[in-house]
C-alpha cells in the first residue's frame, strides 16, 4: 500500500511541476494534520531518493492561527517543528496574532474559514517571495476535492473544481483519498495532530463533511462519479479570457461569473497569489458602472492593474504610467497613427504586424491589441523613442 501511494504521489508531483525537476526550491504547508504530515513524508522520501541529487531544496511553512486553545495550537506547532527537525528539513513558523482571524473575518465579511485561509495564503506568498520558492505544495486530497465541489455548488459558483495547480501552488495529493492517507501513516507508524474544530459542524466545510457526505455515501453510492462528470462539464464551459474581456459581455454576467472572468486574466498573466474576493467584487461593480456611464476605470491589486478602456477590460503587469511628457496608446486595428515621435503606419501582414516609420520598420510577433508607449524609468532599453508591449 505504501509503495502504491508513493508512486501515485510521485507521478502527480512530476506532472504538476512548471518545468524540469532540476534546481527547484520546494516548500510545503504543514499544519500537523494527517493530510499535511503525509505530504511531508512523501516529499521527504522523494527528496531523498531523487530530488536531492538534482540540486533541489525542501522546506516547510507552518502557520499558527491561534484560533483554538493556546495548549492545542502550540502543541500542533511544536509537533511540526519536531517532525521537521527529525527529518532534517528547515521549518519556518508563522505566528498570527490571537484574534487576528476574527478581526479579518469582520473586515472581509467572509466568515472565519475564509479569513483564516486568506491570512494563511498571505503567509505562504510572503515566504515564496522572500525565499525564491519554485513550487509550493498543498495537502488537499481527493475528499477535499468533492467537499469543495459541493460547497461551491451550494454557493452558486460557476467553477466547482479544486485545481491541481495555480501558479507556484500545486496539490499532488488530489487523487489520493483521506482513507489512503491515514493508511499510509499507519503503515509508517507516523502520528499526527487532530484539530478539535474538525468536529464542529457550525463550520461550513465540516457541515458538508460530517453530515452531507455520509448521507450521500449511504443513499447515493455513485454520487462522486456523477459530481466529477458535472465538474468536468462546468469547467469546460467556464469563462476564461486571455488578453481582454469585452465590456458588454462582462456586464451581462452574474457577479460570480464576473469574478471568475477577472481571475482568468490574473491566471493568464501568471499571477501566483490569491486575488481578494472583496477586491474582485468591488471591481466588478465599478467596471459595470463605468461601462454604463461611458467612463474609464482602473484599480490595482498584487502589482497588476485592471483597466477598462475602449469597451475592453484588460490587465497590466507592473506598467508604470507615462510621465506628463510621455504617451500611451492601445492599438487594436490597422491604420496610420500619429505619435509624439511621428507617424506610424501599422498593418497586419500574414502572421505578424509591421510598424512602418520614417526611420524603418518594426515587426511584432503577436496580434492585436497591443500597447505603444513612451520609455520610462526602469525600462531595460531607453534608447528607443517608443516601446511596444503585448496587451
CA dist., res. 173 & res. 141, Å (int): 5
Distance of CA 94 to the CA centre of its chain: 20
- What percent of the chain clears pLDDT 90, i.e. is strictly above it? 34
Residue 165 or 350, more confident: 165
Amino acid 105: pLDDT: 83
Q: Which of the listed ranges 141-150, 287-296, 324-333, 350-359 does the model predict with the highest average pLDDT?
A: 141-150
- Tens of pLDDT, residue by residue over 309-330, are 888 898 887 654 444 456 667 7
Would you say residue 292 has pLDDT above 90?
no
DSSP for 148-162, written as a single string:
HHHHHHHHT-S----
Q: What are the grid coordinates assigned to 387, written together?
A: 516601446
Q: Quick one: which H or E segment has residue 221?
A: none
Alpha helices (runs of H) in the chain, residue ranges in sequence order = 2-16, 34-49, 70-87, 100-108, 111-131, 142-155, 178-187, 204-207, 213-219, 223-236, 247-251, 255-268, 277-292
For residue 239, is pLDDT > 70? Answer: no
DSSP state of 51: G
Could you give the 3-state DSSP secondary structure of residue 179?
helix
**For residue 177, what pLDDT is reported?**
94
> Count of CB atoms within 10 A of residue 135's CB?
23
Read off the C-alpha cell for 256. 460570480
Amino acid at each position: 500500500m505504501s509503495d502504491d501511494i508513493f508512486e501515485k504521489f510521485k507521478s502527480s508531483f512530476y506532472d504538476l511541476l512548471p518545468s524540469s525537476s532540476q534546481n527547484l526550491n520546494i516548500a510545503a504547508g504543514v499544519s500537523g494534520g494527517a493530510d499535511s504530515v503525509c505530504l511531508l513524508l512523501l516529499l521527504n522520501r522523494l527528496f531523498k531518493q531523487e530530488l536531492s541529487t538534482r540540486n533541489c531544496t525542501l522546506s516547510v511553512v507552518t502557520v499558527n492561527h491561534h484560533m483554538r486553545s493556546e495548549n492545542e495550537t502550540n502543541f500542533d506547532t511544536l509537533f511540526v517543528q519536531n517532525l521537521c527537525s527529525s527529518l532534517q528539513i528547515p521549518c519556518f513558523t508563522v505566528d498570527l496574532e490571537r484574534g487576528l482571524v476574527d478581526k479579518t473575518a469582520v473586515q472581509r465579511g467572509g466568515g472565519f474559514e475564509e479569513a483564516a485561509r486568506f491570512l494563511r495564503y498571505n503567509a505562504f506568498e510572503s515566504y515564496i517571495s522572500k525565499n525564491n520558492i519554485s513550487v509550493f505544495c498543498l495537502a488537499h486530497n481527493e475528499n477535499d476535492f468533492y467537499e469543495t465541489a459541493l460547497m461551491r455548488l451550494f454557493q452558486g459558483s460557476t467553477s466547482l473544481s479544486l485545481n491541481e495547480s495555480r501558479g507556484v501552488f500545486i496539490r499532488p495529493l488530489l487523487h489520493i483519498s483521506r482513507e489512503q492517507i491515514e493508511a499510509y501513516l499507519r503503515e509508517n507508524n507516523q502520528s499526527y495532530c487532530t484539530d478539535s474544530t474538525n468536529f464542529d459542524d457550525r463550520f461550513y466545510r465540516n457541515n458538508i463533511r460530517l453530515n452531507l457526505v455520509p448521507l450521500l455515501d449511504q443513499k447515493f453510492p455513485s454520487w462522486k462519479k456523477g459530481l466529477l462528470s458535472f465538474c468536468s462539464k462546468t469547467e469546460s464551459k467556464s469563462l476564461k479570457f486571455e488578453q481582454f474581456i469585452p465590456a458588454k459581455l462582462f456586464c451581462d454576467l452574474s457577479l460570480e461569473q464576473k469574478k471568475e472572468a477577472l481571475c482568468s486574466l490574473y491566471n493568464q498573466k501568471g499571477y501566483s497569489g490569491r486575488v481578494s474576493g472583496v477586491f474582485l467584487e468591488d471591481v466588478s461593480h465599478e467596471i459595470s458602472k463605468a461601462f454604463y456611464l461611458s467612463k474609464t476605470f482602473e484599480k490595482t491589486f498584487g502589482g497588476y492593474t485592471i483597466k477598462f478602456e475602449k469597451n475592453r477590460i484588460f490587465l497590466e503587469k507592473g506598467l508604470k504610467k507615462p510621465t506628463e511628457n510621455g504617451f500611451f496608446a492601445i492599438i487594436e486595428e490597422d491604420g496610420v497613427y500619429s505619435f509624439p515621435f511621428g507617424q506610424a503606419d501599422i498593418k497586419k501582414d500574414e502572421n505578424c504586424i509591421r510598424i512602418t516609420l520614417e526611420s524603418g520598420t518594426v515587426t511584432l510577433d503577436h496580434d492585436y491589441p497591443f500597447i505603444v508607449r513612451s520609455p520610462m524609468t526602469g525600462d531595460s532599453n531607453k534608447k528607443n523613442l517608443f516601446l511596444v508591449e503585448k496587451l
